[in-house]
Amino acid sequence: MSKELVERCIQKDEAAWSEFIKKFKHVVDLSIRKKLTHLKFNFNSEDVKDISQDVFSEIWNKNKLSLLEEKEKILSWLCIVAQNAAIDFIRSKAVINKRVVSSLDVEEGLDAFDAIASKALSPADQAENNELEVIVDEFLSSLKDQDRLILSLNLYYDKSHIEVSKILDISINTVSTIIRRSKENLKKILLEKGYKNY
Amino acid sequence: MDKIEQVLRQGLQKRLKNRVLEKGPDCPRDEELSLYMEKKLNKDRKEAIEKHLSDCSYCLDLVVVAQDALTTLKKTFDYKSLLLKQKWLILCLITFVLSFLFPRYFLQFLVATLILGIKWAVGPEGAKNLVMIFRSMHAHEEAQSKDSEFKVRR
Protein backbone atom coordinates (compact mmCIF):
# COMPACT_ATOMS: atom_id res chain seq x y z
CA MET A 1 0.00 0.00 0.00
CA SER A 2 2.88 2.29 0.90
CA LYS A 3 4.59 1.45 -2.36
CA GLU A 4 1.56 2.45 -4.41
CA LEU A 5 1.30 5.73 -2.51
CA VAL A 6 5.00 6.45 -3.08
CA GLU A 7 4.66 5.71 -6.80
CA ARG A 8 1.76 8.14 -7.05
CA CYS A 9 3.79 10.80 -5.22
CA ILE A 10 6.64 10.31 -7.69
CA GLN A 11 4.13 10.97 -10.48
CA LYS A 12 3.41 14.27 -8.65
CA ASP A 13 -0.15 13.32 -7.68
CA GLU A 14 -1.05 16.04 -5.17
CA ALA A 15 -3.83 14.08 -3.48
CA ALA A 16 -1.41 11.23 -2.88
CA TRP A 17 1.12 13.70 -1.51
CA SER A 18 -1.39 15.03 1.07
CA GLU A 19 -2.09 11.46 2.09
CA PHE A 20 1.66 10.79 2.30
CA ILE A 21 2.20 13.77 4.62
CA LYS A 22 -0.77 12.75 6.78
CA LYS A 23 0.53 9.21 7.04
CA PHE A 24 4.17 9.97 7.79
CA LYS A 25 4.09 13.34 9.56
CA HIS A 26 4.03 11.64 12.92
CA VAL A 27 7.20 9.63 12.35
CA VAL A 28 9.05 12.63 10.90
CA ASP A 29 8.07 14.85 13.85
CA LEU A 30 9.00 12.13 16.30
CA SER A 31 12.45 11.69 14.74
CA ILE A 32 13.07 15.44 14.81
CA ARG A 33 12.10 15.64 18.48
CA LYS A 34 14.28 12.66 19.37
CA LYS A 35 17.27 14.09 17.50
CA LEU A 36 17.00 17.55 19.04
CA THR A 37 16.61 16.01 22.50
CA HIS A 38 19.54 13.69 21.84
CA LEU A 39 21.74 16.69 20.96
CA LYS A 40 20.48 18.52 24.06
CA PHE A 41 19.10 21.33 21.92
CA ASN A 42 16.36 23.47 23.43
CA PHE A 43 13.43 23.52 21.04
CA ASN A 44 9.72 24.30 20.87
CA SER A 45 6.89 22.88 18.78
CA GLU A 46 7.30 25.69 16.22
CA ASP A 47 10.87 24.54 15.53
CA VAL A 48 9.65 20.98 14.99
CA LYS A 49 6.92 22.23 12.66
CA ASP A 50 9.43 24.27 10.61
CA ILE A 51 11.89 21.40 10.28
CA SER A 52 9.10 18.97 9.42
CA GLN A 53 7.85 21.29 6.66
CA ASP A 54 11.38 21.55 5.28
CA VAL A 55 11.69 17.77 5.21
CA PHE A 56 8.49 17.28 3.23
CA SER A 57 9.04 20.19 0.83
CA GLU A 58 12.56 18.96 0.11
CA ILE A 59 11.28 15.45 -0.64
CA TRP A 60 8.57 16.85 -2.93
CA ASN A 61 10.66 19.51 -4.71
CA LYS A 62 13.65 17.29 -5.38
CA ASN A 63 11.43 14.27 -6.03
CA LYS A 64 13.62 12.34 -3.60
CA LEU A 65 11.23 9.40 -3.49
CA SER A 66 12.06 8.59 -7.12
CA LEU A 67 15.69 7.97 -6.13
CA LEU A 68 14.81 5.24 -3.63
CA GLU A 69 15.87 1.68 -4.36
CA GLU A 70 13.33 0.18 -2.02
CA LYS A 71 9.96 1.92 -2.13
CA GLU A 72 8.13 -0.50 0.15
CA LYS A 73 9.79 0.33 3.45
CA ILE A 74 10.52 4.00 3.83
CA LEU A 75 9.97 4.53 7.57
CA SER A 76 13.63 4.28 8.55
CA TRP A 77 14.64 6.40 5.56
CA LEU A 78 12.25 9.13 6.72
CA CYS A 79 13.68 8.90 10.26
CA ILE A 80 17.16 9.51 8.87
CA VAL A 81 16.17 12.31 6.47
CA ALA A 82 14.30 14.05 9.31
CA GLN A 83 17.34 13.86 11.56
CA ASN A 84 19.60 15.37 8.89
CA ALA A 85 17.14 18.24 8.57
CA ALA A 86 17.18 18.68 12.35
CA ILE A 87 20.98 18.90 12.26
CA ASP A 88 20.82 21.45 9.43
CA PHE A 89 18.43 23.46 11.58
CA ILE A 90 20.86 23.42 14.50
CA ARG A 91 23.70 24.37 12.17
CA SER A 92 21.66 27.28 10.80
CA LYS A 93 21.62 28.61 14.34
CA ALA A 94 25.40 28.73 14.34
CA VAL A 95 25.91 30.48 17.65
CA ILE A 96 23.69 28.05 19.50
CA ASN A 97 25.37 25.24 17.62
CA LYS A 98 28.71 26.18 19.10
CA ARG A 99 27.13 26.30 22.51
CA VAL A 100 25.64 22.81 22.05
CA VAL A 101 28.91 21.30 20.95
CA SER A 102 30.90 22.91 23.72
CA SER A 103 28.35 21.92 26.35
CA LEU A 104 28.56 18.33 25.11
CA ASP A 105 32.32 18.50 25.30
CA VAL A 106 32.23 19.80 28.83
CA GLU A 107 29.87 17.07 29.97
CA GLU A 108 31.44 14.13 28.25
CA GLY A 109 34.97 15.35 27.97
CA LEU A 110 35.70 15.34 31.68
CA ASP A 111 38.53 12.93 31.49
CA ALA A 112 37.73 9.76 33.27
CA PHE A 113 41.33 8.89 32.75
CA ASP A 114 42.00 11.82 35.05
CA ALA A 115 39.20 10.91 37.40
CA ILE A 116 40.41 7.34 37.74
CA ALA A 117 43.99 8.20 38.63
CA SER A 118 43.71 10.93 41.22
CA LYS A 119 42.10 14.30 41.71
CA ALA A 120 45.28 16.35 41.84
CA LEU A 121 47.44 15.15 39.00
CA SER A 122 51.18 15.27 39.19
CA PRO A 123 53.08 15.32 35.86
CA ALA A 124 53.94 11.65 36.39
CA ASP A 125 50.25 10.77 36.82
CA GLN A 126 49.37 12.80 33.74
CA ALA A 127 51.92 10.83 31.74
CA GLU A 128 50.45 7.58 33.04
CA ASN A 129 46.98 8.75 32.05
CA ASN A 130 48.11 9.57 28.55
CA GLU A 131 49.68 6.14 28.29
CA LEU A 132 46.45 4.52 29.49
CA GLU A 133 44.54 6.52 26.91
CA VAL A 134 46.85 5.29 24.14
CA ILE A 135 46.58 1.65 25.31
CA VAL A 136 42.77 1.80 25.32
CA ASP A 137 42.69 3.47 21.92
CA GLU A 138 45.04 0.87 20.44
CA PHE A 139 42.92 -1.88 21.96
CA LEU A 140 39.76 -0.39 20.43
CA SER A 141 41.47 -0.09 17.03
CA SER A 142 42.57 -3.72 17.20
CA LEU A 143 38.97 -4.94 17.64
CA LYS A 144 36.82 -6.21 14.78
CA ASP A 145 34.53 -3.47 13.41
CA GLN A 146 31.40 -5.20 14.63
CA ASP A 147 32.87 -5.78 18.10
CA ARG A 148 33.78 -2.11 18.40
CA LEU A 149 30.30 -1.21 17.24
CA ILE A 150 28.77 -3.44 19.90
CA LEU A 151 30.87 -1.75 22.59
CA SER A 152 29.95 1.71 21.30
CA LEU A 153 26.23 0.93 21.38
CA ASN A 154 26.44 -0.62 24.82
CA LEU A 155 28.83 1.77 26.56
CA TYR A 156 28.58 5.03 24.61
CA TYR A 157 24.84 4.95 23.85
CA ASP A 158 23.85 2.92 26.93
CA LYS A 159 21.85 0.45 24.84
CA SER A 160 20.91 -2.81 26.52
CA HIS A 161 22.19 -6.12 25.14
CA ILE A 162 18.76 -6.82 23.60
CA GLU A 163 18.65 -3.43 21.89
CA VAL A 164 22.17 -3.93 20.50
CA SER A 165 21.22 -7.36 19.18
CA LYS A 166 18.17 -5.88 17.43
CA ILE A 167 20.10 -3.02 15.81
CA LEU A 168 22.88 -5.28 14.52
CA ASP A 169 20.64 -8.27 13.76
CA ILE A 170 22.73 -10.73 15.79
CA SER A 171 21.93 -12.96 18.77
CA ILE A 172 21.89 -11.55 22.28
CA ASN A 173 24.35 -14.25 23.38
CA THR A 174 26.88 -13.02 20.82
CA VAL A 175 26.47 -9.46 22.14
CA SER A 176 26.97 -10.52 25.77
CA THR A 177 29.95 -12.72 24.92
CA ILE A 178 31.73 -10.01 22.91
CA ILE A 179 31.22 -7.38 25.63
CA ARG A 180 32.46 -9.74 28.35
CA ARG A 181 35.41 -10.97 26.29
CA SER A 182 36.48 -7.44 25.29
CA LYS A 183 36.54 -6.33 28.92
CA GLU A 184 38.55 -9.41 29.90
CA ASN A 185 41.04 -8.87 27.07
CA LEU A 186 41.57 -5.21 27.95
CA LYS A 187 42.02 -6.18 31.59
CA LYS A 188 44.67 -8.69 30.56
CA ILE A 189 46.51 -6.12 28.41
CA LEU A 190 46.46 -3.56 31.22
CA LEU A 191 47.74 -6.14 33.67
CA GLU A 192 50.61 -7.00 31.32
CA LYS A 193 51.52 -3.30 31.14
CA GLY A 194 51.57 -3.05 34.92
CA TYR A 195 48.13 -1.58 35.64
CA LYS A 196 47.03 -3.80 38.50
CA ASN A 197 44.00 -1.91 39.75
CA TYR A 198 41.68 -2.91 36.93
CA MET B 1 30.37 0.47 37.14
CA ASP B 2 33.71 -1.29 37.12
CA LYS B 3 36.91 0.48 36.18
CA ILE B 4 37.45 -1.43 32.95
CA GLU B 5 34.01 -0.36 31.75
CA GLN B 6 34.81 3.21 32.68
CA VAL B 7 38.08 3.37 30.71
CA LEU B 8 36.43 1.68 27.73
CA ARG B 9 33.57 4.18 27.84
CA GLN B 10 36.01 7.08 27.90
CA GLY B 11 38.09 5.59 25.10
CA LEU B 12 34.98 5.28 22.94
CA GLN B 13 33.90 8.82 23.77
CA LYS B 14 37.27 10.15 22.67
CA ARG B 15 36.93 8.34 19.35
CA LEU B 16 33.29 9.17 18.71
CA LYS B 17 32.59 12.64 19.98
CA ASN B 18 34.60 14.55 17.36
CA ARG B 19 32.09 14.41 14.55
CA VAL B 20 28.70 14.78 16.25
CA LEU B 21 27.43 17.49 13.89
CA GLU B 22 29.54 16.89 10.83
CA LYS B 23 28.87 14.53 7.96
CA GLY B 24 32.07 13.22 6.40
CA PRO B 25 32.76 12.64 2.69
CA ASP B 26 32.84 8.86 3.16
CA CYS B 27 29.48 8.71 4.99
CA PRO B 28 26.97 6.44 3.23
CA ARG B 29 23.79 7.75 1.60
CA ASP B 30 20.68 8.08 3.79
CA GLU B 31 19.03 5.25 1.93
CA GLU B 32 21.96 2.90 2.41
CA LEU B 33 21.69 3.45 6.18
CA SER B 34 17.94 2.90 6.11
CA LEU B 35 18.37 -0.31 4.11
CA TYR B 36 20.88 -1.42 6.72
CA MET B 37 18.28 -0.78 9.41
CA GLU B 38 15.66 -2.69 7.45
CA LYS B 39 18.10 -5.65 7.13
CA LYS B 40 17.89 -5.41 3.34
CA LEU B 41 21.62 -5.31 2.56
CA ASN B 42 23.72 -8.23 1.42
CA LYS B 43 26.67 -9.38 3.53
CA ASP B 44 29.29 -7.18 1.84
CA ARG B 45 27.26 -3.99 1.99
CA LYS B 46 26.24 -4.77 5.59
CA GLU B 47 29.87 -5.22 6.64
CA ALA B 48 30.91 -2.03 4.86
CA ILE B 49 28.23 -0.08 6.75
CA GLU B 50 29.22 -1.65 10.08
CA LYS B 51 32.86 -0.80 9.42
CA HIS B 52 31.85 2.80 8.83
CA LEU B 53 29.45 2.95 11.80
CA SER B 54 32.11 1.63 14.17
CA ASP B 55 34.08 4.87 13.74
CA CYS B 56 31.55 7.51 12.65
CA SER B 57 29.42 8.95 15.39
CA TYR B 58 27.40 11.05 12.93
CA CYS B 59 25.98 7.99 11.16
CA LEU B 60 25.82 5.86 14.29
CA ASP B 61 23.81 8.65 15.91
CA LEU B 62 21.41 8.59 12.94
CA VAL B 63 20.89 4.84 13.25
CA VAL B 64 20.50 4.84 17.05
CA VAL B 65 18.03 7.75 17.12
CA ALA B 66 16.05 6.35 14.16
CA GLN B 67 15.81 2.98 15.89
CA ASP B 68 14.67 4.72 19.05
CA ALA B 69 11.98 6.65 17.12
CA LEU B 70 10.74 3.48 15.39
CA THR B 71 10.54 1.61 18.70
CA THR B 72 8.48 4.43 20.23
CA LEU B 73 6.23 4.44 17.16
CA LYS B 74 5.69 0.69 17.40
CA LYS B 75 4.79 0.95 21.08
CA THR B 76 2.17 3.65 20.35
CA PHE B 77 0.66 1.50 17.63
CA ASP B 78 0.55 -1.52 19.94
CA TYR B 79 -1.26 0.54 22.55
CA LYS B 80 -3.74 1.83 19.99
CA SER B 81 -4.43 -1.60 18.53
CA LEU B 82 -4.98 -2.99 22.03
CA LEU B 83 -7.58 -0.29 22.70
CA LEU B 84 -9.21 -0.91 19.32
CA LYS B 85 -9.40 -4.65 19.99
CA GLN B 86 -11.30 -4.06 23.21
CA LYS B 87 -13.44 -1.17 21.92
CA TRP B 88 -16.79 -2.89 22.55
CA LEU B 89 -15.90 -3.73 26.13
CA ILE B 90 -14.74 -0.15 26.73
CA LEU B 91 -17.94 1.29 25.22
CA CYS B 92 -19.99 -1.17 27.25
CA LEU B 93 -18.32 -0.02 30.48
CA ILE B 94 -18.76 3.64 29.54
CA THR B 95 -22.51 3.27 28.97
CA PHE B 96 -22.78 1.31 32.21
CA VAL B 97 -21.17 4.15 34.16
CA LEU B 98 -23.29 6.72 32.29
CA SER B 99 -26.48 4.91 33.31
CA PHE B 100 -25.69 5.80 36.93
CA LEU B 101 -24.58 9.34 36.14
CA PHE B 102 -27.80 10.12 34.27
CA PRO B 103 -30.57 8.34 36.23
CA ARG B 104 -33.19 9.81 33.88
CA TYR B 105 -31.90 7.68 31.01
CA PHE B 106 -30.94 4.75 33.23
CA LEU B 107 -32.90 2.18 31.25
CA GLN B 108 -31.76 3.44 27.85
CA PHE B 109 -28.12 3.30 28.90
CA LEU B 110 -28.61 -0.12 30.42
CA VAL B 111 -30.07 -1.42 27.14
CA ALA B 112 -27.11 0.11 25.29
CA THR B 113 -24.79 -1.62 27.77
CA LEU B 114 -26.53 -4.91 27.12
CA ILE B 115 -26.30 -4.53 23.33
CA LEU B 116 -22.62 -3.52 23.48
CA GLY B 117 -21.96 -6.35 25.93
CA ILE B 118 -23.48 -8.86 23.50
CA LYS B 119 -21.48 -7.30 20.67
CA TRP B 120 -18.31 -7.75 22.74
CA ALA B 121 -19.19 -11.32 23.75
CA VAL B 122 -19.74 -12.48 20.16
CA GLY B 123 -16.64 -10.70 18.85
CA PRO B 124 -13.33 -12.60 18.59
CA GLU B 125 -11.68 -10.94 21.63
CA GLY B 126 -14.76 -11.30 23.85
CA ALA B 127 -15.32 -14.90 22.78
CA LYS B 128 -11.71 -15.69 23.64
CA ASN B 129 -12.13 -14.13 27.08
CA LEU B 130 -15.43 -15.90 27.70
CA VAL B 131 -13.99 -19.29 26.71
CA MET B 132 -11.18 -18.71 29.18
CA ILE B 133 -13.62 -17.71 31.94
CA PHE B 134 -15.84 -20.77 31.35
CA ARG B 135 -12.84 -23.09 31.23
CA SER B 136 -11.49 -21.82 34.52
CA MET B 137 -14.98 -22.06 36.07
CA HIS B 138 -15.26 -25.63 34.85
CA ALA B 139 -11.82 -26.49 36.20
CA HIS B 140 -12.75 -24.91 39.52
CA GLU B 141 -16.00 -26.90 39.72
CA GLU B 142 -14.17 -30.14 38.91
CA ALA B 143 -11.60 -29.46 41.57
CA GLN B 144 -14.36 -28.76 44.09
CA SER B 145 -16.30 -31.92 43.24
CA LYS B 146 -13.13 -34.02 43.55
CA ASP B 147 -12.44 -32.40 46.87
CA SER B 148 -15.94 -33.20 48.18
CA GLU B 149 -15.69 -36.82 46.90
CA PHE B 150 -12.45 -37.15 48.76
CA LYS B 151 -14.07 -35.83 51.95
CA VAL B 152 -17.08 -38.20 51.59
CA ARG B 153 -14.75 -41.20 51.20
CA ARG B 154 -12.91 -40.25 54.34
Q: Chain A interface, mutation test: which of B5, B8, B16, B50, most A Cβ atoms within 10 Å?
A: B8
How do residues A131-174 score in pLDDT, each as one tens digit?
888 999 999 999 999 999 999 999 999 999 999 999 999 999 99
Please give the average per-residue pLDDT across A78-88, as a whole number: 94
CB contact under 8 A, B69 and A27: yes
Q: Which long-range contacts (CB under 8 A, 24 or more apart) does A23-29 make?
A: A24/A74, A24/A75, A24/A78, A25/A52, A25/A56, A26/B73, A27/A75, A27/A78, A27/A79, A27/A82, A27/B69, A27/B70, A27/B73, A28/A52, A28/A55, A28/A56, A28/A78, A28/A79, A28/A81, A28/A82, A29/A82
| Residue A28 binned pLDDT confidence (cut-offs 50, 70, 90) | very high
For the stretch A18-27, pLDDT in tens is 999 999 999 9
Which residues in chain A touch residue B17, judged by CB atoms under 8 angstroms apart? 104-105, 108-109
Confidence of residue A112 (pLDDT cuts 50, 70, 90): very low
Q: List all residues 6 or more positions away from B144 whose beta carbon is below 8 Å from its beta carbon.
A: none
Chain B residue with Cα closest to A89:
B21
Half-sphere exposure of B154 (CA within 13 A, CB side): 6
Determine the pLDDT at residue B34.
Answer: 93
- ipTM for the predicted complex comes to 0.81
Residues 70-129 of B with CB under 8 A from A: 70, 72-73
Give the B window 52-81 contacts with A, CB below 8 Å. Answer: 53-55, 60-70, 72-73
pTM of the model: 0.72
Query: How many CB pairs below 8 Å do chains A and B form together?
Result: 156
Q: Which amino acid is at A152?
A: S
Residue A109: pLDDT band with limits 50, 70, 90 = very low
